[in-house]
Structure 1
Amino acid sequence: MTSTIETRASLFQRMRGMRMEALGFALVGASGVVVNFGLFWILNHVLGLAPLRSNVGATVVAIASNYLGYRYWLYRDRDAASRKREITLFLLFSGIGMAIETGTLEFTQHVLGLGTSLELLGGKFLGLVVATVFRFVSYRTWVFKALPELEEHPGAVQEAPEVVQEAELLLATEEAELLLAAEERPALAN
């Protein structure tokens, strides 16, 4: 008796997995936001660096801390065969995210003319939101790729392992013996 097992998760299971991934991404990202905003504030207000320089410095440190969280916690089970490729793509997409964030901050400051501390933090926050969406999509799609599935074809099935086949055969045999015993009992009662 040959049995097959579905290798592809249902849409509900995939959406649930993606929801959990997004939650993990948000947790690592939140730690990066704390690093980013805290360091931005220190660089800008304590050390007196210009807002754009403070933003770049804070974002670079946050990118490094986020990489560690993504690689060694959230995406620890993902393919890490080529760390050089992974780090290169991570830095590339993080750099684009930083450009989005810094561009939004620059637009807030130079085009809209908003320059108070609260307005700068608001511009930085808006840029961070847009950059985060970009980073989530790019990291999960190109940087931390899922390990390849057993079968490349959607809906493909895999042969059940030999142990499973033997267990199914044993259960079928026991079921047949129980049916025979049940049929013999009424005959013995007469």
Structure 2
Amino acid sequence: MRKLLSQFLRFGVVGLGGLVIDVAVFNLLRITILSPDVLHEGPVIAKIISTTLAIGANWVGNRRWTFATAGRAGAAREGIEFAIVSVAGMAIGVLCLWVSHYVLGYTSLLADNIATNVVGLALGAFFRFALYRWWVFNPSRGVLAAEHTAADVVLGATQRAIGPAGFTPLHRVQAVSTVEDRAHRND
């Protein structure tokens, strides 16, 4: 439980950095070149841009710090999975903004910020943490993937090593020192 709490706190710190990027870029774009007065879809486009930048910062922070102890198979697979979860989390925030701005008619800068940076962010954060922890950065999943890849190389793509989880494959067992058996020695 302590590890989960520590991980959640690190996730929060990384997320806070992403939030600063997201909110600052969103508001800068929303009040300048992507204002609804300039472009009707401006707030939604501003949110997509700002969240994309925050996702990049969060990827680095979560990979290097929050989930750094997770045994992982590869950055490419993990990066793709992180992007999928992050885009789904971004969709939650954008959907909250869209409903508030275009369906409910709350078009002020404050209403847009509450919809996307309070409600959308809270819902998206819980969604992302859960999926990052149990899918993207899952330590047991990374170890199994690495062992599976090694088994495929050794045994061929059509065969698989089958064994209980947690046992070390025989090719990783190291030799032990010999034991002298005095009872069977011929004098």
TM-score (norm 2): 0.70
Distance 2:3 2:69 in 1: 13
Q: 1:55 aligns with which of 33, 36, 47?
A: 47
Aligned to 2:12: 26
Shift of 1:79: 2.0
Equivalent residue in structure 2 for 1:115, among 103, 107, 118 = 107
| SS at 1:47 equivalent | coil
Taking the TM superposition and a 5 Å limit, the aligned residue runs for 1:33-182 are 33-49=19-35, 50-124=42-116, 125-147=118-140, 152=165
Amino acid at match of 1:42: L
Further displaced range: 43-52 or 55-64: 43-52
> What's 1:181 paired with?
none
User: What amino acid is aligned across from residue 120 of structure 1 in structure 2?
Assistant: D
4+ residue runs over 3 A deviation? none
- CA distance in 2 between partners of 1:16 and 1:75 (Å): 14
Q: Give the whole-Å Cα distance in 2 for the aligned partners of 1:71 and 1:118.
A: 33
Query: Where in structure 1 are there 5+ consecutive unaligned residues?
Result: 1-14, 154-190
| Structure 2: segments with no counterpart, 5+ residues | 36-41, 145-163, 167-187
Question: Which structure is larger by alpha-carbon Rg, 1 or 2?
Answer: 1
Please tell me the residue identity of whatever aligns with 1:28: V
Deviations 1:119-161 (A, max 9, x none): 1100012011101000000000111112459x847xxxxxxxx
Amino acid at match of 1:141: W
- Provide the aligned length of Structure 1 versus Structure 2: 139
What is the letter of the counterpart of residue 26 of structure 1?
Answer: G
- Using the TM superposition, give the Cα deviation of residue 78 of structure 1 relative to its aligned residue in structure 2, in angstroms: 1.2
SS in structure 2 of the partner of residue 140 of structure 1: helix
Three-state SS of the structure 2 residue aligned to 1:44 is helix
